Amino acid sequence: MWLFLTRVGAMAGKETLHIRRDPLTLWLGLALPLFLLILFGFGISFDLDHIPLAVVDQDNTTESRELRQLFTAGSEFVFAGALDNPDDALDAFAKSQAHAVLTIPEGYAAALSRGENVEVGLILDAADANSAQQALARADAFAQLASAQAAQRRGLDIAGSMPVSARTWTRYNPAGRSALFLVPGVTAYVMALVSVLLTALAVSKEWEQGSMEQLFATPVRRAEIVVGKLLPYLGMGIIQVLLVLVAGTWIFGLPTNGNGLVVALGSLLFMVGMLGQGLLISIVARNQMVASLTAVMTAMLPSMLLSGFMFPVENMPLPLRTLSNMVPARYYIQVLRGTLLKDNGFAELAVPLMLLAAFATLMMVVSTVMFKRKLA
């Protein structure tokens, strides 16, 4: 055991020197995760606001202007100009001048004064279906508010006319901020990409330069080589996780109420698994270009598309849902979201933790078995 630890320590020291002398490795390991976190955190958002709203006011009364003011008073809609008639909406959409058009019919104020129902139109540019649905929901809320205000002016009891009402409570993310949902996913995606790339490029570079042949001339066994090479990158990965989580908390307000031991264990298992995957890629490819492309195909794309980072797994077709079960980032995201947002513990997250442990064990065993002490 002492001989094993000595050889592993020597390998880890050698790999640490390579990392210190290679600015690209330090950039990939420390600066790139923070850059990608900030880029994705600010660049990707499901919070829709400042929707350009054009208005067709065919009534041109105080009441119609109040309705327009009601829609544009907050940050949801921004007044994008007045149109002469609803037919101009298509032209406004084509020129990207507006994404929604509010149409107020002639006789709007008179109908309100008589206590009659009046229809107000909303034309939406649904090229982006998600944005259109959010705009429709917010416009419906404003319409209900306008209806309630009109009823109050007429002296009607709004609460008395509604015998059944619903109260809703939003847990874990009451403000509905997409950043709180995205940052754990971004963390898993960034760590998966960087971890696989680090080991895949570093080890394949040794195959290309021929330094692996010198290593084979030593009595160091393959298990000692594998563990010794991964330890420095595991240490760098721990620093990466800490930097990303601290940045997510400081910049995006990510909660830190969860059990830190659960986050630490999940991060450790995920890092070991992804580093082992990168090592396996380098063993099979032995070429930096092939290794980098394989890393992108097996780590970046699945971690982005099939992990639940951006798209709910439940909404995917059955073949993709089945394939997502083999993506370790999916379980790491469950650990991060469950711990940081929901304050879950070991009991609630036992299954994803065990699956991460199984993946890490599989990658380490397969990498060690595939690592042959020969050049061809």
CA distance 372 to 376: 9
Position 157 confidence tier, pLDDT thresholds 50, 70, 90: low
Name the least confident of 100-104, 139-143, 170-174. 170-174
The pair phi, psi for residue 286, each rounded to 5°, is 55, 25
Q: How many CB atoms lie within 10 A of CB 82?
A: 12
Domain boundaries, the chain: 24-44+176-370, 51-161
Give percent of the chain with pLDDT exceeding 90: 12
**pLDDT tens per residue, range 8-28:** 777 677 777 777 777 777 776
Mean model confidence pLDDT for the chain: 80
> Among 53-67, 90-104, 195-209, whose mean pLDDT is lowest?
195-209
Is 335 in contact with 261 (CB distance < 8 Å)?
Answer: no
Percent of the chain with pLDDT strictly greater than 70:
85
The three-class DSSP label of residue 72 is: helix
pLDDT band at 353 (very low <50, low <70, confident <90, very high): very high
Per-residue pLDDT reduced to its tens digit, 224-248? 777 877 888 888 888 888 888 888 8
Output the pLDDT for position 9.
75
pLDDT in tens, 82-100: 888 888 888 888 777 888 8
The pLDDT, as a whole number, for residue 267 is 93
Q: How confident is the model at residue 163 (pLDDT cuts 50, 70, 90)?
A: very low
**Of 61-65, 147-151, 156-160, 313-317, where does mean pLDDT reach its minimum?**
156-160
Distance in angstroms (rounded) separating the CA atoms of residues 294 and 158: 62
The C-alpha torsion from 324 through 326 and 328 to 334, rounded to 10°, is 50
Q: HSE of 325 in the Cβ direction (CA atoms, 13 Å)?
A: 6
| The CATH number of the domain covering residues in 51-161 | 3.40.1710.10
Query: Residues near 95 by Cβ (< 8 Å), separated by ≥ 6?
Result: none
pLDDT digits (tens, 9 = 90+) for 254-289: 887 778 899 999 999 999 999 889 888 888 887 888
**What CA–CA distance (Å, rounded) separates 255 from 271?**
22
22/26 Cα distance (integer angstroms):
7
Per-residue three-class SS string for 145-179: HHHHHHHHHCCCCCHHHCCCCCCCCCCCCCCCCHH
Is residue 89 within 8 A of residue 66, CB to CB? The reply is no
Measure the CA–CA gap between 247 and 339, rounded to whole angstroms: 17
Model confidence at 200: pLDDT above 60: yes
For 8, 122, 140, 171, 240, the CA distances from 137, given in Å and listed in that order, are 60, 11, 5, 20, 39
Which pLDDT belongs to residue 336? Answer: 92
**Which residues, at least 6 apart from 181, have a Cβ–Cβ distance to it below 8 Å?**
46, 173, 337
pLDDT over 60 at 151, yes or no: yes
Nearest to 183 by CA among 39, 355, 346: 39
Confidence check: pLDDT of 335 > 90? yes
In which element (H, E) is residue 80 found?
Answer: strand 77-82
